[in-house]
Amino acid sequence: MLRYVRESAAGGFVIGTESGIIHRMKKENPGKMFYPILPEPRCPNMKKISLEKVLHSLQTLETRVELPPELMERARRPIERMLAPQ
């Protein structure tokens, strides 16, 4: 989303995600306007995540999320595109 906003010629964007990213978008794109869908879009669970916790999860694999194979296959392509070098 950050790259899209930065590279877009549009002057305004409707944002439907967590408020923390809106702050960063405004800071990195001072000439553009941002309109959040909700007045205070906050996700309490996203605030619990830290780089240290992500690293711990990857190293220990303590917390696992099991998904049905058909859902995993549908999710694989967008994730691979997101992670592919540009």
CATH number of the CATH domain containing 66: 3.40.50
pTM recorded for the entire structure: 0.50
Q: Please, what sign has the CA dihedral across residues 33, 37, 40, 41?
A: negative
Q: Domain of 45?
A: 2-83
Give every CB contact of residue 43 below 8 A, 6+ residues apart in sequence. Answer: 18
The structural domain count of the chain equals: 1
How does pLDDT run across 18-77, given as a tens digit for each residue? 777 888 999 999 999 999 887 776 777 777 888 898 899 889 988 788 899 999 999 999
